[in-house]
Structure 1
Amino acid sequence: MPHIPQGTTDSVTLELFEPALEAALQPSPDYDVNRWLYVPNTYSEYRDILGTRGVKPLICVGINPSTAAPDALDPTLQSAQRIALANGYDSFLMFNVYAQRATRPDDMEKALNPALHAENRKAFRYLLSLSEHPAIWAAWGNIILKRDYLMDCMRDFAADGQAVGAAWYTAGPLLKSGQPHHPLYLKRDTKLVGFDIETYLSR
């Protein structure tokens, strides 16, 4: 079933990232925590992180999460995992510019929830800390144009990446719109190429 938000995220209890991460690192009856990283570790109106564990992860940045969970990846995350493995990474970590679950991006809330963004930014910084040389795949397609606040969020994540010397990539050339490709319809052997995030954001 698609996920339709039950309301704006300021109407739900927001779990802070640090305790949510701590809970996600504990054994779970629902999935193998040695294989998966899932924060929060129960299904809710938002999701900070979903991915697999490894020593050479690829951080994949989309726009917003849908219904995926451990052992139940949706087609977008299945494609992201295939492309990460095909490019020499042993794992993938799906992160989103905005953490609200909505299968249809048009259902995302109209206004930014600053508290949700602040916790999501903590999640991104945590992902960056997992690698000595973080690799980030820009994979949001034209969906980033759906809400004005998404690009502002992206600027924060770009600054966080720059602070630790992260390398940015896209899968194949940019779209005619100048946006990076969304993973869903890419071939499994699509090669990652360097992406100048600063030039992109200065347009």
Structure 2
Amino acid sequence: MTEQWIYERNADNSARFLLGTLGVNTLICVGVNPSTASPGDLDTTLRRVRGYAERNKHDSWVMLNLYPQRSTDPKGMHVTLVPKLKVENERHIAEFVNGRKLTLLAAWGEPIKTRGYLRQTLEGIVRITDASACDWISIGGLTTKGHSRHPSRGIYLSFESFDVGAYLRGL
């Protein structure tokens, strides 16, 4: 695993847009919202993302989120969408994707239901990634409630194809 870090956040560190390591074969993980992790100080979720990357022959990993507000609990996120954060998040993601055909790991789990605006933020990210013909995968099959699995839950499972368009239609 490479240790060259990418770490993009706002000036007061209340929002994080990207965190990970740079490499050639990068696992791109999309969660709900960032917690307190930073380069060299990973939380449980990011240690598991790194583990998934290593187990699946990726030389690096990057964590993106549906909403960039830092909160240790998705229920602590803004009750209503802050449009400026959505726009900034999408700008950072678009600059990172930059027309590359990447594979993205859907990893938001059940917490996508904690805020009504998360569907809208996912739609924005999907527009960006669809423009680059990116592929989506998930950890194992969907949960019993039909959502992608969060990486910090349960045992390591294999990746499966994830139809993000069908998921959005059913959300």
TM range (shorter): over 0.9
Contact 1:59–1:127, Cα closer than 8 Å, also in 2:
no
Amino acid aligned to 1:101: R
Aligned to 1:197: 164
Q: Structure 1 CA distance, aligned partners of 2:27 and 2:87?
A: 22
Amino acid aligned to 1:174: L
Q: Structure 1: give runs of 5+ residues left out of the alignment.
A: 1-33
Match of residue 72, structure 1, among 25, 31, 41? 41
- The DSSP-based 3-state class of the residue aligned with 2:57 is coil
Contact 1:79–1:186, Cα closer than 8 Å, also in 2:
no
Aligned to 2:26: 57
Contact 1:171–1:191, Cα closer than 8 Å, also in 2:
yes
Q: Structure 2 CA distance, aligned partners of 1:161 and 1:154?
A: 10
Q: Structure 2 CA distance, aligned partners of 1:184 and 1:79?
A: 6
Amino acid aligned to 2:143: L
Aligned residues, how many?
Answer: 169
Q: Structure 2 CA distance, aligned partners of 1:174 and 1:39?
A: 30
What is the TM-score with the length of structure 2 in the denominator? 0.93
Aligned to 1:13: none
Q: Percent identity?
A: 36
**C-alpha spacing 1:39/1:175, structure 2 compared with 1 (3 Å):** same
Aligned to 2:65: 96
Q: Structure 2 CA distance, aligned partners of 1:67 and 1:199?
A: 32
Q: Which runs of 4+ in 1 moved over 3 A?
A: none
What is the TM-score with the length of structure 1 in the denominator? 0.79
Contact 1:61–1:97, Cα closer than 8 Å, also in 2:
yes
Which protein has the bigger strand share? Answer: 2
Q: Structure 2 CA distance, aligned partners of 1:43 and 1:191?
A: 37
